[in-house]
């Protein structure tokens, strides 16, 4: 976890990347990976409906970017964003989604069955690699419901609720994991079908410094399928 935070810090302070830049590239990777694993034609719902659940931090921001690109790729995303930071970055991302007619659910569906009915996929953008400690409401209940759905879940960076290094055996079991920048230790416990790497922005010098040993991305793709 500290290494991931150290890399992030260096990208912002030494390389002068803005959070906006990296979040945009990260969110785009997530949407691209999803489109590769779950193309619109593969949905059994009448429209390729996707529910994107966004948490209170940067992982939620990644989710908002992802939702917007999913819309551009022909999906019908719906966002649930119960706790919104009052920062221009997140307000801007929310507006971009709203102006693209992406609906925002005021309430999270109370029954897992409702989610299974309405959506072909759920994107888990609740907690990321900075997550520590106890899960606060409303996310505890949300995760409880998500643990009972049968449609696939695609988690951004870390399955929400998992310990960033050790995982969580009785927690969320996503079908897809999109590791951003590099896989975190928790990824070793990932048992789903699709593991993608995204966030193709790490300068070669940083990759070397932290001995990331990332396999090469295919030509100009912004995602790499690991499994």
Identify which of residues 191 and 205 has a Cβ nearer to another protein in the complex. Answer: 205
- Specify the DSSP class assigned to residue 115: H
Identify which of residues 39 and 140 has a Cβ nearer to another protein in the complex. Answer: 39
Q: How many whole angstroms separate alpha carbon 63 and alpha carbon 51?
A: 10
Residue 103 Cβ vs another protein, minimum distance, rounded to whole Å: 15
Q: How many whole angstroms separate alpha carbon 10 and alpha carbon 147?
A: 35
Residue 7 Cβ vs another protein, minimum distance, rounded to whole Å: 14
Residues forming the site for another protein (CB under 8 A): 14-18, 31-32, 35-36, 72-73, 96, 99-101, 200-201, 203-205, 219-220
Identify which of residues 33 and 149 has a Cβ nearer to another protein in the complex. Answer: 33
- List Cα–Cα distances, 164 to 136, 167, 183, in angstroms: 17, 6, 11
Identify which of residues 74 and 140 has a Cβ nearer to another protein in the complex. Answer: 74
- CA–CA–CA angle 198, 59, 227 (5° rounding): 35
Residue 16 Cβ vs another protein, minimum distance, rounded to whole Å: 4
Residue 119 Cβ vs another protein, minimum distance, rounded to whole Å: 20
- Specify the DSSP class assigned to residue 167: B
- List Cα–Cα distances, 183 to 4, 112, 186, 197, in angstroms: 9, 29, 8, 7
Q: For the sheet with 49-54, list strands across it.
A: 76-80, 49-54, 121-125, 153-156, 176-180, 194-198, 223-225
Residue 22 Cβ vs another protein, minimum distance, rounded to whole Å: 11
Residue 63 Cβ vs another protein, minimum distance, rounded to whole Å: 17
- Taking a C-beta distance cutoff of 8 angstroms, is the pair 59, 127 a contact? yes
Identify which of residues 166 and 209 has a Cβ nearer to another protein in the complex. Answer: 209
């Amino acid at each position: 976890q500290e290494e991931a935070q150290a890399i992030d810090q260096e990208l912002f302070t030494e390389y002068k990347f803005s959070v906006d830049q990296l979040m945009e590239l990260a969110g785009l990777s997530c949407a691209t990976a999803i489109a590769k694993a779950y193309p619109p034609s593969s949905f059994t719902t009448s429209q390729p409906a996707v529910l994107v659940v966004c948490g209170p931090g940067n992982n939620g921001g990644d989710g908002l970017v992802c939702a917007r690109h999913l819309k551009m790729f022909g999906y019908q995303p719906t966002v649930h964003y119960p706790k919104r930071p009052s920062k221009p970055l997140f307000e801007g991302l929310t507006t971009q989604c709203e102006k693209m007619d992406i609906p925002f659910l005021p309430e999270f569906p109370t029954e897992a069955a409702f989610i299974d009915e309405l959506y072909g996929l759920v994107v888990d953008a609740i907690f990321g690699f900075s997550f520590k400690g106890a899960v606060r409401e409303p996310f505890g209940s949300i995760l409880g419901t998500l643990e009972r759905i049968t449609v696939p879940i695609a988690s951004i960076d870390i399955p929400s609720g998992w310990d960033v290094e050790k995982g969580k055996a009785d927690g969320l079991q996503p079908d897809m994991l999109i590791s951003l920048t590099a896989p975190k230790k928790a990824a070793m416990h990932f048992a789903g079908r699709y593991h993608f790497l995204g966030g193709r922005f790490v300068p070669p010098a940083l990759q070397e410094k932290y001995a990331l040993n990332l396999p090469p991305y295919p030509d100009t793709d912004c995602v790499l399928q690991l499994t």
